Amino acid sequence: MELLTDRSKIVSNKKLSFLEKLYLPAIFEGMWITLGHLFRRKVTIRYPEKKKEFSEIYRGQHILKRDEEGRERCTACGLCAVACPAEAITMTAAERKAGEETLYREEKYAVVYEIDMLRCIFCGLCEEACPKEAIFLTKRIVSPELTRERFVYGKDLLLEPSDRLRRIDISGRQTKEVIGFKKDKKFKHNQ
């Protein structure tokens, strides 16, 4: 059989020597390595007493934003799903009905909006693609789960609370240039 890499090893069943049977050299070698690590800079921290500092540009769990009046901003245009390289986003669009103007900002909205957090690579392309400033990544960490299904986040986990005091601040995600671009009326999608 032709080998694809040169990483394969021939395994032999050679008999152990007397010294090897004592295992002492191997134990001392292991202890020597452990001793060496005692004096090196630690790469771990004492969580949860100590929290790791995140980079300014850290991208974590997404948020679906509401506008100033508490209406959902997402119009289910699907641009985020198209831009997503991991194909992690799926949605189902619905028409806004009369009387629902206080719930949804646009005439079309996402009745179902899901992100598979196990597929997501937190690249932020969905955020960049969104013309409605509806989706942003935040500094929040996706919680560990025991089943794969629970990593599929729906609107119940993604949509920010309508209570103004509990809204998620995403101002750190927008640079001055991006804010300026989004306000530029000569681009139709910014109007």
- Which amino acid does the sequence have at 170? I
If binding is defined by CB under 6 A, does position 58 make contact with ligand SF4? Answer: no
Give the dihedral sign, CA 106/92/170/123: negative
If binding is defined by CB under 6 A, does position 63 make contact with ligand SF4? Answer: no
Which of 63, 126, 158, 159 forms a contact with ligand SF4 (CB under 6 A)? Answer: 126
Structure tokens at 17: 């020597």
If binding is defined by CB under 6 A, does position 70 make contact with ligand SF4? Answer: no
Pairing of the two strands 89-95 and 108-116:
antiparallel
If binding is defined by CB under 6 A, does position 159 make contact with ligand SF4? Answer: no
Stretch that binds ligand SF4, among 7-15, 40-48, 68-76, 140-148 (CB under 6 A): 68-76
Which of 125, 142, 168, 170 forms a contact with ligand SF4 (CB under 6 A)? Answer: 125
Report the C-alpha gap between 42 and 47 in whole angstroms.
13
Nearest distance, CB of residue 16 and ligand SF4, angstroms: 50
Which of 86, 94, 103, 157 forms a contact with ligand SF4 (CB under 6 A)? Answer: 86
Report the C-alpha gap between 22 and 16 in whole angstroms.
10
Nearest distance, CB of residue 35 and ligand SF4, angstroms: 43
Which of 63, 115, 158, 159 forms a contact with ligand SF4 (CB under 6 A)? Answer: 115
If binding is defined by CB under 6 A, does position 103 make contact with ligand SF4? Answer: no
If binding is defined by CB under 6 A, does position 120 make contact with ligand SF4? Answer: yes
- Which amino acid does the sequence have at 182? K
Residues 6+ apart with CB under 8 A from 155: 64, 110, 112, 113
If binding is defined by CB under 6 A, does position 84 make contact with ligand SF4? Answer: yes
Q: Where are the alpha helices (DSSP H) in 76-173?
A: 79-83, 125-129, 155-158
